[in-house]
Amino acid sequence: MRKIAMLGSGFIGRFYADSIVGLRSKDKIVSIFSRSESNANKFAEDYNVPHSTTDMKKAINHGDVDTVVISLPNNLHEEAVMECVKAGKGVLCTKPLGRNAEEAKRMMDAVEEAGIFNGYLEDLVYTPKYLKALESVQKGALGSVLWARSREAHPGPHSEWFWDKEMAGGGCILDLGCHCIEIGRGYIGKDIKPVEVICWADTQVKPIDAEDHAIGMVRYENGAIGQFEVSWTFRGGLDLRDEVMGSEGTIMINNFLRTGFDMFTSGEGYDYVAEKAESNKGWIFPVGDELHELGYNFMFTDMFNAMDNGNTPGETFYDGYVVNAVMDAAYTSVKSKKWEPVKLDVWRGREGVEKISSMRDYDEDHYLVKEETTHYGAKKYIIKNKSTGKISEITE
């Protein structure tokens, strides 16, 4: 049983709380910290939390608390983590871990030196479709993964602090890119080093200082490419899509925008549809179980089971640090308009990985470039001579 201090009573804190109290039926939120007294009191009332406070230290150091969940604005993550370190309490932190890799590394170093449990709450690598796809990839269904594309786009975040570049640390890259980059890392292999990034970003629609739209590519040491597409300018709801291409197959996932649940309504008496849905009338696409489809249930199951069993969860502060380093390179690339290196002071994966090679032999002297059956029934082979490099075709 986990006895939890929830830091933050807003949108994500309530998503977390709904999952925590409804999941294992034994974990309990015993303290809530909010910067607003009225919000703290309302959260405590809604979730039957015995202790509420506007003092972060009091929530963390409450005698019943053994685990702290951080669902605060980005600029408060480091302060909260350091207080958990002082108190010796296990800590789970929402994404992104830091506003940059320097912040993230300080947090990672602190929790590891203190020996306390640390989990990185990256929910989108715990969605049911992602977990199934990842299992298929890891079992070899796609052969060698060559390219992984992840897209998250919606009309923009819910709270005011996201729109403040200093508080948030950036715009949609920091808010959404962290999801997409970690999804790509998972498919390509978290032990494969991300080496460089090229990224375009701009402020196209919103009256803010940070970017509201970005597209980037991450090149990995083995030659694989991770692509992220993120936007706060997309109209029509929450678009979460992944594509993975390998030497032996392809996976395409639509997590949220098309749910398989279509409804038409006038909107009369119907308010909430799904996270970031822009309309409650006409043809709409409700979600059967948002907590499950967005990965919160599997995420907290992994975190709490790891804590109970003394194991390492699937996502740790180290993963958050690597993602922050990739995003730092993306921001540098936006300014330079060039490929920029990913600067990792700490790397715990494989070194010197060779470039992916999935060449197949046609015979002893030739590689197989392609084989196909034509519309007129012939079998065609495109082959390349291993010695001369000459490309030719054989039709049967």
User: Per-residue pLDDT tens for 213-239?
Assistant: 999 999 999 999 999 999 999 988 889
Output the pLDDT for position 1. Answer: 87
Mean pLDDT of 48-58: 97
Question: Cα(287)–Cα(291) distance, rounded to whole angstroms?
Answer: 10
Output the pLDDT for position 255. Answer: 85
The model's pTM: 0.92
Of 88-102, 168-182, 280-294, 325-339, the range with the lowest mean pLDDT is 280-294
Q: Give the confidence band of 377 by pLDDT, cuts at 50, 70, 90.
A: confident
Question: Cα(209)–Cα(277) distance, rounded to whole angstroms?
Answer: 25
What count of other Cβ atoms lies within 10 Å of the Cβ of residue 31?
25
Give residue-wise pLDDT tens across range 154-204: 999 888 999 999 999 999 999 999 999 999 999 999 999 999 999 999 999
Superfamily of domain 125-294+315-341: Dihydrodipicolinate Reductase; domain 2 (3.30.360.10)
CATH 3.40.50.720 intervals, the chain: 3-123
Tell me the average pLDDT of the chain.
93
Q: Give the confidence band of 277 by pLDDT, cuts at 50, 70, 90.
A: low
Question: Cα(363)–Cα(383) distance, rounded to whole angstroms?
Answer: 9
What count of other Cβ atoms lies within 10 Å of the Cβ of residue 60?
23
Q: Give the confidence band of 268 by pLDDT, cuts at 50, 70, 90.
A: confident
Mean pLDDT of 311-331: 98
Output the pLDDT for position 274. Answer: 65
Give residue-wise pLDDT tens across range 91-145: 999 999 999 999 999 999 999 999 999 999 999 999 999 999 999 999 999 999 9
List of E strands, the chain? 3-7, 28-33, 51-53, 67-70, 90-94, 118-121, 145-153, 194-202, 213-220, 225-231, 239-246, 249-254, 263-265, 282-284, 340-341, 360-363, 366-373, 379-385, 391-395
Output the pLDDT for position 276. Answer: 63
Structural contact between residues 300 and 26, judged by C-beta atoms closer than 8 angstroms: no
Contacts by 270-279, CB closer than 8 A, 24 or more apart: 274/237, 274/238, 275/238, 276/154, 276/155, 276/237, 276/238, 277/237, 277/238, 278/155, 278/235, 278/236, 278/237
Q: Which amino acid makes up residue 393?
A: E
pLDDT exceeds 90 at position 40: yes
Output the pLDDT for position 301. Answer: 95
Output the pLDDT for position 280. Answer: 76
CATH 3.30.360.10 intervals, the chain: 125-294+315-341
Output the pLDDT for position 376. Answer: 87
pLDDT exceeds 70 at position 334: yes
CATH class as words, domain 3-123? alpha beta
pLDDT exceeds 90 at position 24: no
